């Protein structure tokens, strides 16, 4: 759904927003996240994760798909 460059831009902005919360349960520095975005059609979707992020094993496979970044 999004180009790799656009996914990278979105990931950086989400990372910054999360870091700026200074929430006590978030780690210092890099925050691992997976953002799933549904498109207008059922076949249209995107997974966006932070650039250095690893997918946690408890993330449902339906959300991971075959995409990286």
Q: How far is the C-alpha of 54 from the C-alpha of 33, rounded, in Å?
A: 8
pLDDT in tens, 4-54: 999 999 999 999 999 999 999 999 888 988 898 999 998 898 888 887 656
**Collapsing DSSP states into helix, strand and coil, what is residue 7?**
helix
Of 52, 8, 31, 42, nearest to 62 by C-alpha is 42
Query: pTM for this structure?
Result: 0.75
**Collapsing DSSP states into helix, strand and coil, what is residue 37?**
strand
According to DSSP H, which parts of 1-69 are helical? 4-20, 61-64
């Amino acid at each position: 759904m999004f180009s790799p460059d656009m996914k990278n831009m979105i990931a950086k902005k989400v990372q910054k927003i999360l870091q700026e919360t200074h929430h006590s349960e978030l780690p210092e520095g890099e925050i691992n996240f997976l953002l799933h975005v549904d498109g207008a059609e059922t076949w249209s979707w995107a997974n966006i994760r932070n650039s250095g992020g690893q997918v946690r094993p408890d993330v449902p496979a339906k959300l991971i798909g075959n995409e990286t970044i």
